[in-house]
Amino acid sequence: MGAGAVGLSVAARLSLVCDVYAVSRKRHAEAIRSKGFRMTGIWGEGTYHFPCGESLPEDSGFDYVILTAKSQDTRAVCTQFAAAVADTEVVSLQNGIGNEEVIAEYTGRVIGGTIITGFEWQGDGEVRVSVEAGPIRLGRFPSGTDSAVSALVEIFRAAGMNAEESRDIRVDLWGKTLYNAALNPLGAIMGVPYGDLAHPAAWHIIEQVVHEAFAVAAADGVRPAWATPDEYLAYLRDVQLPATALHHSSMLQDLERGRPTEIASLNGAIVAKGRRHGIPVPVNATLSDLIAFREHQISGKPG
């Protein structure tokens, strides 16, 4: 559901081992119906054929619903497809903090997930998978794992995707948010691939973003997988940044297409939680405001 570049690529791989239906935008659904879904890059090259439409077939039932919509659309998608998500395992493969809590209002069976992989549109129904900074992680939200999670991990692996179980998915969600908050808005504002952000001036901004985020996570009752902000920054610099150096941020792609970004669930979520806990987060707030201003410039709307 909400299958854009991420969702359609995951659906394509899953279609090799199970029955898949993708809910996507009209132009992508039409392209896939007429010529198939074209994927290139590090997940392999090929054309995939699977059913795709703007809505669900009547009387359809599923073992899992995988939600890949933009975070700002989570509630709208859950509301639109409330009958399909109720009493169904709903899996969030989305960016940011807060999606799982929204989904939990519609079903008691929520699986959180993280995917740190670069997906870039090449045309309607065509995506290039550019980079990958780690395995897909899936876990029962807010914590733990069970047979439904284990079965889904095995399905992902059978489809050729690198997937792992997580016993504390909130930690992983914060880990991905650290990565996204550090790189996504700055890459979008400057219009550069992630590798360029290793420049000392950009890195100084990233350091402050991460230190603020760590303080907020701790106040929110989450201890990230890294003991200190500097430990994570070393991992970001030495592992994640080189692995995704050529990737252009999803936020930049959204701005180039004149669409709203996910800033509210990334740096914006850090700002909101920081204010709630009385923790100053001026750098995250500034990045959030800059992206909001860019959205305003592109939309052409007054005020």
Nearest to 139 by CA among 105, 107, 109: 109
For residues 100 and 117, state if they share a domain: yes
pTM reported for the whole predicted model: 0.91
**Segment 172-185 mean pLDDT:** 96
Q: Which position among 35, 176, 273, 301 bears the catalytic label?
A: 176
For residues 141 and 191, state if they share a domain: no
Tokens of 178: 């650290």
For residues 124 and 230, state if they share a domain: no
More confident residue, 87 or 49: 49
Q: Which domain-ending residue is among 142, 167, 192?
A: 167
**pLDDT tens column, 255-293:** 998 999 999 999 999 999 999 999 999 999 999 999 999
Q: Give the confidence band of 60 by pLDDT, cuts at 50, 70, 90.
A: confident
For residues 23 and 151, state if they share a domain: yes
Question: In sequence order, what E strands does the chain have?
Answer: 22-23, 37-41, 46-48, 52-53, 64-67, 89-92, 110-114, 117-123, 126-132, 136-140, 163-165
Nearest to 144 by CA among 164, 165, 163: 165
Instruction: Find the CATH number of the domain harbouring 182.
Output: 1.10.1040.10
301 given a catalytic annotation: no
For residues 175 and 145, state if they share a domain: no
For residues 160 and 180, state if they share a domain: no
Q: What is d(CA 45, CA 42) in angstroms, rounded to the nearest whole number? A: 8
Mean pLDDT of the chain: 95
